[in-house]
Amino acid sequence: MTNEAATHCGICRRVLDILADPLSTDCGGDCWGCVGEIEADIGWPESLAQVRKESDAGLRPDWIDPVRR
C-alpha cells in the first residue's frame, strides 16, 4: 500500500477519505456524497436525515429533497 495511490469514487471520481471533505467518506468504493443521495432517493430514513443535514449546511447544492420534487 502506498499513499500515492489515492482511491476515487466509482461514480463521481472524487478522491475518497479526504478529511476536509465530509462527503468523501469511502462507502465501499464510492463516496458518501453519491451513496448518501442514492440511499436517500430510495428512502433510507437514516441516510435521508443525514443528507438533509448536509444539504442544510450547504454541502449538497444540487440535491433536492424528495418531498419537494
Contacts of 55 (CB under 8 A, 6+ apart): 63, 65
11 touching Zn ion, by CB under 5 A: yes
Start-end of H helices in the chain: 32-41, 45-56
Show contacts with Zn ion in window 27-56 (CB under 5 A): 31, 33-34
Total residues interacting with Zn ion, rule: CB under 5 A: 7
Contact with Zn ion (CB under 5 A) among 12, 15, 18, 49 = 12
Interacting residue ranges for Zn ion, rule: CB under 5 A: 9, 11-12, 14, 31, 33-34
